Amino acid sequence: MGEQSTTKFPQEILDQWAGLGLDLPSFFSAGHLGERMSVQVTEAAPERVVGTMPVEGNTQPYGLLHGGASAVLAETLGSVGSMLHGGPTKIAVGVDLNCTHHRGARSGLVTGVATPVHRGRSTATYEIVITDEDGKRVCTARLTCMLRETDADIYRS
């Protein structure tokens, strides 16, 4: 699905997740749906998650970026931030996503930046701003994830 980029993680995240035998860039990615849509997570930390997605291949019949594609990018980035905030003992499960679409994009890459609004023990909420290559806001989204306790062995499957 195109060129695979490397996700940048801060050292404290690498240290925190060490020993679980995970390929962190794959684990903190957009998964199979994101692969089909060519979503790339380029930077990942609990304080900021950045990713890109091409407009081409992710359009609706009018040739504009599909609103659902923006939602996939937003949920991916907010979920990665929530997972990193929760750490290896928790999993993040999205419970609410809303998206406001401000303008259409017809070509190029869109970039999403997720930043925390709330990071608690049982929930995390991220605002995700998606912009076009000119820096114009295409979409603003907010994702809330529930953080559920889990056994770290879940990552060893």
DSSP E strand stretches across the chain: 40-45, 48-54, 90-101, 109-119, 123-131, 137-149
**Distance from CA of residue 4 to its chain's centroid?**
16
Q: Which residues pair with 99 in a beta bridge?
A: 141
Comparing C-alpha atoms, which of 4, 53, 7, 54 is closest to residue 28?
A: 7
35 belongs to the catalytic site: no
Comparing C-alpha atoms, which of 97, 128, 83, 84 is closest to residue 110?
A: 128
Residue of 35, 56, 75, 149 marked active site: 75
What do you get for the CA distance between the two ends of the chain, in Å? 25
Catalytic residues, by residue number, are: 75
